[in-house]
Amino acid sequence: MSRDRTDAGGIRRTLGDHSFFGGMDPRHLDTLARMAAWSGHPAHSWLAHTGDAPNWFHAIVDGRVGIEIDAPGRDPLIVATLHPGDVVGWSWFVDRQPWQFDVVALDDVRTVAIDVEDLLDACASSEGLRHELTTRLLRVVASRLHGTRMQLVDVYGSAR
């Protein structure tokens, strides 16, 4: 994995165009860009493992990542596939919980990686940024829960 902080202007533009951050107050985007770096992950490499400290919040720009869980007696199971425009790594927002899943690059992946310590500090000093992120992260959680529900209906609903 490589990280590059030399292109703050490009990062800022990318965040503004990213579906998670789109429409966010420009001052908040400027703040986020200052604490972010480009991050590259070759296909089949790991962005995170279950139990790791949540050091980075990733906005996917290119490629796909798989959210995986270990299933006893089985191969790991991909429970979600995330695409450009998605974010991954929001456990930090809830009492700095460790990663709850393994995250693998399914393709060559490029993200904007935002430093979690810097982000938590910024949220502590800016109610506006904290509110923006809370609202957007709750949408992500709701969407992922809905996706999980649909998978369960698909798997278990057809067993009747």
Nearest Cα residue to 28 out of 89, 137, 135, 119 = 119
The dihedrals phi and psi of 7, each to the nearest 5 degrees, come to -125, 60
Cα distance between residue 22 and residue 81, in whole Å: 21
**Residue 53: pLDDT above 70?**
yes
Mean pLDDT over all residues of the chain? 89
**Burial track 40-75 (b if 16+ CB lie within 10 A, e otherwise):** bbeeeeebbeeebebebbbbbbebbbbbbeeeeeee
Confidence bin at 158 (pLDDT 50/70/90): low
What average pLDDT score do residues 88-116 get? 92
Q: Which domains does the chain have, with CATH numbers?
A: 2-157 (2.60.120.10)
pLDDT for res 96? 83
Nearest Cα residue to 77 out of 109, 56, 50 = 50
Using an 8 Å Cβ cutoff, are 60 and 85 in contact?
yes
What pTM did the predictor assign? Answer: 0.88
pLDDT for res 1? 58
154 vs 34, more confident: 34
**Residue 92: pLDDT above 90?**
no
